[in-house]
Amino acid sequence: MQTATAAKPSALIAFPAVPSARTLWNLFLGGAAGLGFWEFFSATATHWAAGFPLQPPELVKSLFQHQLGLTISNPMAEFLHGLTGLIFYPIGYYILSRALPWLGVTAAGWIWGVATYFIALGFFAPLAGQSFLLHDVPVLSFMSLVGHAIYGYLAAIVFERFEESR
């Protein structure tokens, strides 16, 4: 007689190990690749499609103004956006890809890229006084979605290639 067995939760979700210094460096390199693409894409392709570039530092500045009543400089806003793309978002990818290893690198990269779009425009934009997902400027929202998705994919691929070469 056969009995049905339920999948163990540990088979579906794994708890990621704390990344080593080498893994953190590789995450940084992946983030740099993704962020480099993002900066080029947001300044060129988005400008061509929307008539103006995406300007994440303006979102950062608006967020600080709306939530904390602080005015931060353009260089500080650029720094915070860069820090997010170089370190925080890659760590998010690491957690997602290691917690759900069955996704695979490609899917995890695309999914994380789309998640970063929702974090930026679905969560932070409304906190900064802008519309949810910038629905009032659909072409800008779409270009941001495309840019974030490709960012996630590139960051994942570069990170994983460096991890493989250990």
Predicted structure pTM score: 0.89
Over pLDDT 90: what percentage of the chain?
Answer: 89
Amino acid of residue 42 = S
Q: What are the distances in angstroms from CA 22 to CA 16, 77, 132, 165, 166? A: 15, 28, 37, 11, 9
The answer to whether 151 touches 143, Cβ cutoff 8 Å, is: no
Q: How many residues does the chain have?
A: 166
pLDDT for residue 109 is more than 50:
yes
* pLDDT single digits (tens) 29-55: 999 999 999 999 999 999 999 999 999
As a whole number of angstroms, the distance between CA 59 and CA 55 comes to: 7
Residue 104: its H or E element: none
Name residue, tokens 């210094």. 21
Amino acid of residue 14 = A
Q: CB-side exposure of 102: number of CA atoms within 13 Å?
A: 6
List, in order, residues 6 or more apart from 39 with CB less than 8 Å away. none
Can you read off the two tokens belonging to residue 43? Answer: 């300044």
The answer to whether 150 touches 82, Cβ cutoff 8 Å, is: no
Residues 48/60/87/30 CA torsion (nearest 10 deg): 0
pLDDT bin (cut points 50, 70, 90) of residue 10 is: low
The least confident of 3-17, 106-120, 134-148 is 3-17
